[in-house]
Structure 1
Amino acid sequence: MGFNIYDELPAPVSKYHGTEKQVLAEIFLQHAQGGVLPVTPWYDASKSLAREFPEQLGCLDDPAILGRVFQMIDDNHDGILDQDEFVNGIHELLHPTTQEAKTLRARIAKAVLPAVENDFAHVKSVAIIGAGVAGLQVARRLMEIGISCTIFEKSENVGGCWQKNYADFGLQVPKELFEFPDFPYPDDFKCDLFPTGPEVQSYIELYAKTFKLYDIAQFKTTVVDLQPSGGQRGWTVVFEKEKQRSSKAFDYLVVATGMYSWPPHMPVARDASKFKGQILHSCTFTDRKVASGKKVVVVGGGKSAVDNAVSAAKEGSQTTLVCRSWHWPVPRYLLNLVPFKYATYSRFGHWFLHPHHGEGATATWLHGTCAPVKWLWWRAVELMFRGQFQIPSSMIPEEGVETDLFSGGQILNYDFRDMLSSGKIQQICGAIDKFTETGVVLVDGKELDADLVIYGTGFAKNYDIFDKVIQKKLNIQKDGLYLYRNVIPPQVPDVAFVGCEVSTFNNILTQGLQALWLQKILSGQMRLPKPGSMEKVIQKEQAWKRTWMPPASSRASLYQLHMTKYHDMLVQDIGAQRFRKMPNCFGELFMPYTARDFADLFPKASK
């Protein structure tokens, strides 16, 4: 008979007896072949060592570390271990006296994790990396329950990507769709209906000042390493400020570095060194006057690339947008009358999406039965978008709008459309093959003159603040980092990712609900499932996304318009009602959800 692979196995019980050296001798004899231990049996012996000495050697399942240990204890360097080499060598590693053993032991300690536990009563201090809207909301929620928080922020202010971004950046949604659930825009706060970047930054700063979050933030501080606490629970944060390196221990760690942080993704074509012009990423194109009088080529098909092209065209002499494929634009007002939020932020609009894997049998049957109706609905939506944006046939996206919204959805005004129509912006579907001194050559051989090339190609993910062995335990995939509820890694204890591994069309609300969800866990008001159960949920979500979402490097984090379902799951987990508008059945079905629908879950801000 088999067994349930998601069931938790009992903690291993030592089957060895005697002194430490006697235990090591038993392990050697168990795995030795002909009185010696070649490389292959050494791998099996290392697993026994990791089980027997978890706090000291718990990461001996990593090949790189295994190789270094073998090299150290193989005294005569013959590629096999005899009993004396094994016993004395491992004993030296457990109680190092030589510099080599001390160095290797310190390296191992950086990757040894304690067992995953579901009790967080020990958490009295939390390190939060990032002072954007996610990190600030986490700090606010945890401080409410008496947990001491320290925010580490590499820049000089709160706000994350809203502090400074590409030229003319701002919200692509109206302000009621970007609002802290516990801190609505004050009546005397002046901003546009679609706030500019500086207006959003002012709102975030006001939030931080109101709740005294500046007091717990360390600015201009870069986190350079995150180390487990030597097999014990908690983390040691190694950080650098004013060229001085320091470290501090915490009971829990929250990574809140955002979806669009660092490093920039710049697939620069060959021969870039020959180019006599300037090459920028969208995050460094902060002043459109840089493009004044220049011939500009913008690379990319997402929101930032389109915005960069519009900004450059306002100043430059010629602007060309080059991308491999186009994405469907979403108008701010459907048919120039109805705000788009009624279709995209309501349960009615959500029902037309690809069904979530967590739907019940009745809902699944209904989705299948109505599939032709849903298909016709989206084709009608595409016709509407084509008409409103006057999309030429050469720019029709390959993916249907119901799928494309999960990889390149962008809410636009008509600036880009009008500039295309007037000829101020040229569009080319293709890619840059190489640079020349005076421009670029596309893969089809077409040459474009350029003085300035801007890559609006997004950002890559980087997890190098974690040890390489821990990164393997995070199980990072080609399509991203899959987590339980997009927050918790099942195999790495005492760490949560808030805001940086999930993307919706209302990120500030999503991150607020994640912060509340985490508060309930750390306060003991709700409990996480066991690691095996979390893995089961993750694998279901992974399979669901991979059956229909485009194969993007960020697919693990994408919820986008499925935010309704994601918010439902978070709210249900904490024991609250997911139907926030009831008993108003009409409103529940057709009215858009905003942060104010969840306000009663959060304490009200004091005036």
Structure 2
Amino acid sequence: MGKQVAIIGAGISGLLACKYTLSKGFHPIVFENSSSIGGVWTKTVETTKIQTPKEFYQFSDFPWPSSVTEGHPDQNQVLNYIQSYAQHFDLLKHIKFNNKVSGIEYEGPSGDEMQAWSHWGGTGEPFSSGGKWKVVVEDKQSLSTKIHVVDFVILCIGRFSDVPNIPEFPPNKGPEAFHGEVIHSMNYADMDYESAAKFVEGKQLAVIGFSESISNLYTSEMRCRWLAELLGGTFKLPSIKEMEKDVEKWDAYAKRYASSQYYRRSCIGALHLWYNDQLCKDMGWNPKRKKGLFAELFEPYGPMDYASS
């Protein structure tokens, strides 16, 4: 029997992780706390649209249908697209809906032994010969609890999951200063249309937060392909010290775009290119995906450039 992989969350990353682990012969089981797939897209306002043209927000092997003519599809169109992807690759049968993971425990070598490792797992490989993961799952419908024993766990719960990321305000400079209210977009999206309209009626609003991060759809796909290749034995992880140095290198590279001058000058963000180049090299792919020097120099990269190895 192939190794079992637990995937927590059925958003875009969870679906991608499911698809690519299946392609490597593993047996994934996806635990989704809610009753539907889509992750963050199920928690947005209906009028929300993707911020980039749809050609840059799509799966590498599943383009948008011709029926979607808008350059920036809205929430319903995105959810339908994600649903079609899951159905096309027969992923839904691997998902347990309304199943909340309440605990994860690794049973294997002692803590002292793990601290002495120079490589992940002692060898740089993802699976330990003597270790297993215990995943405690609560079924929200039957109110029962079950422990699943698996070989590997993939967290696809998002950076903040269901926890609104609201900043801390300096003393006397928060809601008390402007005699108003601060809410997260997640809470606003939970309102029905009538309640939301009533909430904003006659008020002066400030919306904080707009720009996308590096985490676009095809960046998530590349991560999942990389992980599937690691699990499949295509490559091993370097030493822990090497990975720590690489994290420092990545952090320094990212901070080049976080200076106080960032928003005061023209900028072409290239973080995702550097990141995807690293993943390609690990997987043994040529990071230069374009056909020809001029295309490599001047054409933007997108999902279809990573459609095949």
- The alignment partner of 1:524 has SS state of coil
**Which residue of 2 is the match for residue 98 of structure 1?**
none
Note the 1:192-341 alignment, pairs <5 A: 192-231=70-109, 232-242=130-140, 243-259=143-159, 261-267=161-167, 280-286=183-189, 287=192, 289=194, 290-292=196-198, 294-303=201-210
Note the 1:132-147 alignment, pairs <5 A: 132-147=11-26
- The alignment partner of 2:203 has SS state of strand
- TM-score of the two chains, using structure 2 as the length reference: 0.78
Q: Give the residue type in structure 2 aligned to 1:239.
A: V
**Identity %, equivalent residues:** 31
Q: Could you tell me how far 1:548 is from its partner in structure 2?
A: 6.0
Q: Could you tell me how far 1:209 is from its partner in structure 2?
A: 0.7
Q: Could you tell me how far 1:260 is from its partner in structure 2?
A: 5.1
Q: Give the residue type in structure 2 aligned to 1:138.
A: A
Q: Give the residue type in structure 2 aligned to 1:530.
A: S
Q: Could you tell me how far 1:535 is from its partner in structure 2?
A: 1.7
1:528 and 2:232 correspond: no
1:565 and 2:282 correspond: no
Q: Give the residue type in structure 2 aligned to 1:156.
A: S
Note the 1:94-109 alignment, pairs <5 A: none
Q: Distance in 1 between matches of 2:307 and 2:286?
A: 13
Q: Point out the structure with max Rg over C-alpha.
A: 1
**Which residue of 2 is the match for residue 580 of structure 1?**
289
- The alignment partner of 1:224 has SS state of strand
Q: Distance in 2 between matches of 1:560 and 1:130?
A: 29
The one of 40, 52, 55 aligned to 1:173: 52
Q: Could you tell me how far 1:578 is from its partner in structure 2?
A: 1.3
Q: Give the residue type in structure 2 aligned to 1:222.
A: K
- TM-score of the two chains, using structure 1 as the length reference: 0.41
1:230–1:575 Cα change, 3 Å: closer
Q: Could you tell me how far 1:154 is from its partner in structure 2?
A: 0.8
Q: Give the residue type in structure 1 aligned to 2:237.
A: L
- The alignment partner of 2:100 has SS state of strand
Q: Distance in 2 between matches of 1:248 and 1:135?
A: 18
The one of 8, 16, 28 aligned to 1:149: 28
Q: Distance in 2 between matches of 1:561 and 1:509?
A: 14
Q: Distance in 2 between matches of 1:150 and 1:550?
A: 42
1:211–1:226 Cα change, 3 Å: same
1:226–1:191 Cα change, 3 Å: farther
**Which residue of 2 is the match for residue 107 of structure 1?**
none
Q: Could you tell me how far 1:267 is from its partner in structure 2?
A: 4.6
**Given that residues 154 and 219 in structure 1 are in contact (C-alpha distance below 8 angstroms), is that contact kept between their aligned partners in structure 2?**
yes
Q: Distance in 1 between matches of 2:132 and 2:70?
A: 44
Gaps of 5+ in 2: 110-129, 261-267
Q: Distance in 1 between matches of 2:188 and 2:270?
A: 29
Q: Distance in 2 between matches of 1:511 and 1:529?
A: 22
Q: Give the residue type in structure 2 aligned to 1:592.
A: P
1:587–1:234 Cα change, 3 Å: same
1:580–1:515 Cα change, 3 Å: same
* RMSD over equivalenced CA pairs, Å: 2.9
1:540–1:564 Cα change, 3 Å: closer
Q: Could you tell me how far 1:153 is from its partner in structure 2?
A: 0.8
Q: Could you tell me how far 1:190 is from its partner in structure 2?
A: 2.7
The one of 542, 563, 572 aligned to 2:251: 542
Q: Distance in 1 between matches of 2:245 and 2:167?
A: 36
1:191–1:245 Cα change, 3 Å: farther
**Given that residues 159 and 201 in structure 1 are in contact (C-alpha distance below 8 angstroms), is that contact kept between their aligned partners in structure 2?**
yes
Q: Distance in 1 between matches of 2:77 and 2:180?
A: 33
Q: Distance in 2 between matches of 1:277 and 1:245?
A: 42
Q: Distance in 2 between matches of 1:540 and 1:174?
A: 31
**Which residue of 1 is the match for residue 119 of structure 2?**
none
Q: Give the residue type in structure 1 aligned to 2:146.
A: S
Which structure has more relative contact order (CA 8 Å, sep 6+)? It is 2
Q: Could you tell me how far 1:541 is from its partner in structure 2?
A: 2.6
What is the CA deviation profile of residues 274-331 of structure 1, one whole-angstrom value per residue up to 9, with x for unaligned ones? x99976421122355423472334455212xxxxxxxxxxxxxxxxxxxxxxxxxxxx
**Which residue of 1 is the match for residue 9 of structure 2?**
130
Q: Give the residue type in structure 2 aligned to 1:234.
A: K
Q: Give the residue type in structure 1 aligned to 2:305.
A: D
**Given that residues 123 and 522 in structure 1 are in contact (C-alpha distance below 8 angstroms), is that contact kept between their aligned partners in structure 2?**
no
Q: Give the residue type in structure 1 aligned to 2:71.
A: L
Q: Give the residue type in structure 2 aligned to 1:223.
A: V
**Which residue of 2 is the match for residue 598 of structure 1?**
306
Q: Could you tell me how far 1:226 is from its partner in structure 2?
A: 0.9
**Given that residues 14 and 156 in structure 2 are in contact (C-alpha distance below 8 angstroms), is that contact kept between their aligned partners in structure 1?**
yes
The one of 486, 509, 516 aligned to 2:218: 509
- The alignment partner of 1:295 has SS state of coil
- The alignment partner of 1:512 has SS state of helix
Q: Could you tell me how far 1:230 is from its partner in structure 2?
A: 4.6
**Which residue of 2 is the match for residue 444 of structure 1?**
none
Q: Distance in 2 between matches of 1:516 and 1:300?
A: 35
Q: Could you tell me how far 1:124 is from its partner in structure 2?
A: 0.5
- The alignment partner of 2:222 has SS state of helix
**Given that residues 8 and 31 in structure 2 are in contact (C-alpha distance below 8 angstroms), is that contact kept between their aligned partners in structure 1?**
yes
Note the 1:444-459 alignment, pairs <5 A: none
Q: Distance in 2 between matches of 1:545 and 1:272?
A: 32
**Given that residues 167 and 288 in structure 1 are in contact (C-alpha distance below 8 angstroms), is that contact kept between their aligned partners in structure 2?**
no
Q: Distance in 2 between matches of 1:299 and 1:267?
A: 14
Q: Give the residue type in structure 2 aligned to 1:241.
A: D
